[in-house]
Structure 1
């Protein structure tokens, strides 16, 4: 079952709770499809299944709280924590992934936490890695709150309004769009046939010339 279909079978309150929990657990450093769940919930909000404001609030809270807990876990576990995770989840915490994330932190500092929300790899690693590298918590918290609200709230708002606009457009122009698609398909088919027939004309002419030459030579 698709994520959106699965969420649609759940009461609206629990949709918001699930969004917050999944994003929060992902932010701890456990690879879960947080972005997929958020986008699916935002699409449902465009269909008036759930309130978009609460989707954004729960997603932001999950991101901020999850990243903060991930920071504490990383500060306590340090590098040995990533070594264990690398052996258990090599596709997400392999040496190459950790090296890229560390390079981003060395270069951008707290901005890596902020923009990490918008990058799949850093979204999982930002909290634990910031703690393991002993980034001051107040700096981490500022970037964490701003990034969590910008990513979760912004994604919800964009998907919601795109969904509303798309729904209105389809309702108002569904038959027009269908007719345009049919006409486009017919026109494309006729054009391809025309091009194919013109391409075959030189070949047919060449075959006729060869036949006439063979008849002449036989005489």
Structure 2
């Protein structure tokens, strides 16, 4: 079942919980489609019939991101590099040596900014928590960047998709009315053209008179 279809089939409370859980697990270091879930739910919130509040949705997504990253940080700090090796065995597509090395260079070069902007990049979003813990980044620095990044990413994504959905819905409604008007005009125009052609092809009274033998 498609993500959007599944979210449509569950109550609003379950949507909030699922968004927070998936984003939290992704932030913890498990490759999951957190952004897809958030975008789908935010798009649903723009449809008032869904009952999903965009503010509550953004708050749940932010909480999931911050808590998940913090748990990932704690696990990474305790597990160290053996944890990255274990994750590489479980998720080779995401935690390959090349990806780990790239993420590590980003953290060493940018520090807190890597945690903040990593929230907006799918690969770094998975790495941010565990890798910051493995590299023993001071927790207060990590938490500051983590909270700010979570608010900007989750809140910003929810707000943008929500307003895009509202505008799109308005345009679709206008388009539906416009389409109806255009269809009616085309129908009337077609009728007028057909009538004119029919009248033009209609035989005159003289043409309709039968020819007699004496003529």
TM-score by length of 2: 0.81
- Greater helix percent: which structure? 1
Instruction: Pick the aligned partner of 1:86 from 85, 88, 103.
Output: 88
Runs of 4 or more, structure 1, over 4 Å off, are: 177-180
| 2:124 alignment partner in structure 1 | 122
Give the distance between the partners of 1:125 and 1:76, measured in 2 at CA: 15
Tell whether 2:39 aligns with 1:39. yes
| 2:201 alignment partner in structure 1 | none
Tell whether 2:183 aligns with 1:172. no
Instruction: Pick the aligned partner of 1:148 from 147, 150, 159.
Output: 150
Tell whether 2:160 aligns with 1:161. no
Structure number with greater Rg is 2
Measured against aligned partners, the alpha-carbon deviations of 1:99-154 in whole angstroms (never above 9, x if no partner) come to 11001101110100000000000000000000000000000000000000000000
User: Runs of 5+ in structure 1 lacking a partner?
Assistant: 181-219
Instruction: Pick the aligned partner of 2:65 from 57, 63, 66.
Output: 63
Give the distance between the partners of 1:28 and 1:84, measured in 2 at CA: 14
- Listed as ranges, the matches of 1:131-142 within 5 Å are 131-142=133-144
| 2:186 alignment partner in structure 1 | none
Instruction: Pick the aligned partner of 1:98 from 100, 123, 135.
Output: 100
Query: Aligned-pair distance for 1:76?
Result: 0.3
Cα distance change, pair 86–169 in 1 and its aligned pair in 2 (3 A): same
| 2:189 alignment partner in structure 1 | none
Tell whether 2:19 aligns with 1:19. yes
Measured against aligned partners, the alpha-carbon deviations of 1:172-203 in whole angstroms (never above 9, x if no partner) come to 123546969xxxxxxxxxxxxxxxxxxxxxxx
User: Runs of 5+ in structure 2 lacking a partner?
Assistant: 184-215
Query: Aligned-pair distance for 1:2?
Result: 1.2
Query: Aligned-pair distance for 1:12?
Result: 0.4
